[in-house]
Each structure stands twice: as structure tokens, then as C-alpha cells.
Amino acid sequence: MTTIYKICTAAEWHEAEHAGAYRGSAVDRKDGFIHFSTAEQAPETASKWFAGQRDLVLVAVDGDALGARLKWEPSRGGALFPHLYGDLELSAVLRVDPLPLDASGRHVFPDR
């Protein structure tokens, strides 16, 4: 199983739980796909796009369950990032963890 990760606000995730699917952030919808990261990419994603933000969650997703809608495409520095073309069905979600800030303002990732 390939686990991929989505960082989003707790409010966005609460809305997804209520709706039965995650349809992406405003940036995702503008780009036409939902941005994900690997475990190795997620800390840099957090510092680059979510620096200092509170009330975030880290959503772990079974990438294999997404089928052909998941594409691995070059992004930052040519690295391949997982992009989902379509909604994230909650049945593919493995877990959701808070992503708090430490005393220095960096996000604290859960053990994966």
C-alpha cells in the first residue's frame, strides 16, 4: 500500500466529513486536482505552503485505493508528487491526525 498525505485545515476536513468526500482546497480546485505529498515531502509542503498556520490536520490516504485518478507528476524541483483528479472518497482515508505547531512555530508530524 502506498500512503500519501493531504494537509488541510480542520474546518475543511470537517466539511469533507459532513459532505462524505473531500473536494479539495481553493488552491486544489483552481489547479484542477487535489495536491498530496509523500511522507518525505509533507514536512517541506507544510513549511512552504502552511507556515505558522494553526488548526491543520494531516490526512493519511491509501493511494492505491484511488486508482487511475491518482497521477504522479513533477513539481517542486522535478520531484514526483501525487495529484488526485477528482474528489477524495472518505473510504480511502486511513487516519486523520492534528498537525500542531511546536514552540518554534514548526509543524509537529505524528509518527507514521
Residue range 79-108, pLDDT digits in tens:
999 999 999 999 999 999 999 999 999 999
Q: What's the CATH code, domain 3-98?
A: 3.20.170.20
- Map grid coordinates 505524528 to a residue: 110
Gyration radius (Cα) of the chain, Å: 13
pLDDT at 111: 79
Q: CB-based burial of residue 42 (10 Å sphere; 0-12 exposed, 13-18 middle, 19+ buried)? A: buried
pLDDT at 112 over 90: no
Helix, strand, coil share (%) of the chain residues, nearest 5: 35, 35, 30
Mean local confidence (pLDDT), 37-46: 95
What average pLDDT does the structure give for the chain? 95
Residue 1: C-alpha distances to residues 10, 52, 63, 72 (Å): 25, 31, 7, 15
Domain residue extents for the chain: 3-98
